[in-house]
Amino acid sequence: MSPYQERPGQDDSGRLRARPRPRAVRALPPGRHRLGLGLGHGRDGLLYVPAEREEPSPLVVLLHGAGGAAEAGIELLREHADEHGLLLLAPDARRATWDRVRGTFGPDVAFVQRALQQLLARHPVDPRRVALGGFSDGASYALSLGLGNGDLFTHLIALSPGFAAPPVRVGRPRIFVSHGVEDEVLPIDRCSRRLVPMLREEGYDVRYEEFADGHAVPPWLAAEAVRWFAAADGPDGTAPAGAGGAGGHGASGGPPRPGKQG
The strand ranges marked E within the chain are 31-34, 45-49, 57-63, 87-91, 125-135, 155-159, 174-180, 206-212, 257-258
Residue 147 lies in a domain: yes
Residue 26 lies in a domain: no
Decide: helix, strand or coil at residue 229. helix
| More reliable by pLDDT, 246 or 209 | 209
Residue 19 lies in a domain: no
Crossing angle of helices 107-122 and 137-146, in 10° steps, is 80
CA distance 169 to 167: 7
How many Cα neighbours within 13 Å face the side chain of 166?
Answer: 19
Decide: helix, strand or coil at residue 45. strand
Residue 136 lies in a domain: yes
Residue 25 lies in a domain: no
Residue 2 lies in a domain: no
CA distance 234 to 240: 7
Report whether 86 contacts 57 (CB < 8 A). Answer: yes
pLDDT in tens, 228-250: 999 865 544 444 443 433 333 33
CA distance 71 to 90: 7
Residue 14 lies in a domain: no
CA distance 191 to 189: 6
Q: What is the number of domains present in the chain?
A: 1
How many angstroms separate the first and last alpha carbons of the chain?
30
Torsion of CA 122, 241, 139, 208, to 10 degrees: 180
pLDDT > 80? residue 14: yes
Rounded to two decimals, what is the model's pTM?
Answer: 0.85
Asked which of 34-43, 113-122, 160-169 is least confident by mean pLDDT, the reply is: 34-43
Mean pLDDT, the chain, whole residue set? 86
Give the residue numbers spanning the domain of 216: 31-258
What pLDDT is attached to residue 3?
A: 64
Q: What CATH number does the domain containing 49 carry?
A: 3.40.50.1820
pLDDT > 90? residue 160: yes
CA distance 114 to 230: 26
Residue 85 lies in a domain: yes
**What confidence tier does 128 reach under pLDDT thresholds 50, 70, 90?**
very high
